[in-house]
Structures are given as C-alpha cells and as structure tokens.
Structure 1
C-alpha cells in the first residue's frame, strides 16, 4: 500500500479514536470499525466515504481471533508495553 493511503488511513482512524475517546468509550478494533461505519454512513463526500471504507477494510485485518483480548497490541509495537 503506498504511503499516501497508509497516512490517510491513519488520519481517518485517528478521527474515530478521538470520537471514541471524547465519548469515554472503549477503544478497540471492533469499536473503531463501528465508528468508521457510522462516519461513512453520514459522510456526504463520496471520495471521503471511499477513504473511510478503505480505512475500515485495512483495520479489519487487525480484528482479533475469538477470545483474544489483546486487540490493540499492534498499536504498542506487537505487545511491547501496556495498552491500558
């Protein structure tokens, strides 16, 4: 994936993270995917809607296997450090 798309995904996911944090919600891969789906549903700009869906698709690659509670280990460098 070219750097542009990676950076755009990070920015859009960052928006979802801020939204969740401001609403005092848990920040997990599942909650981020849901937040991105909500963002896409209300977005009026078709190009930005595509970017949001691409970010959501990229993020789904990190969805944990059932029962795995280390959803955000990729954020902390594959589990180095605490996610809490």
Structure 2
C-alpha cells in the first residue's frame, strides 16, 4: 500500500468514527432519559399505591357507584 492510500484509509476510518460518536451519544442520552422517566413513574406509582392503602383504611370502599339521581342508601343503625 502506498503512503497516500494509507493516509486516505486512516482519515476515512477516523472521520467515520468521529461521525458515529455523536450518534451513539444521542442514543445513550435518550436511553438514560427513558430509564429516568420509568424510574420516576415507578416511584410515583408506589406512592399512589401507599396513599390508596391509607385512604382505604380511613374510608373503606364499598365497590358501589352512585349517580346524582340515585339516593345513597342509609347505613344501618343498630
């Protein structure tokens, strides 16, 4: 191989590597942002589950849905 072809090959390889750097960096940043978002969502979900448990202890759910037209049944008094 001649000196000129070696220089051309080396410069081509280097420019290709430099071109791939920002592309790989953008992918890494996107993956990192996605992992962070998933972690925040998971933490928020856990907080909501804890709050639901606390509120169910204070005010148990009956599973019934009432509309404005329906009258809520009176609780039985003993």
Relative to the length of structure 1, the TM-score reads 0.28
Compare the two structures and name the one with the higher helix fraction. Answer: 2
Bigger relative contact order (CA 8 A; separation at least 6): 1
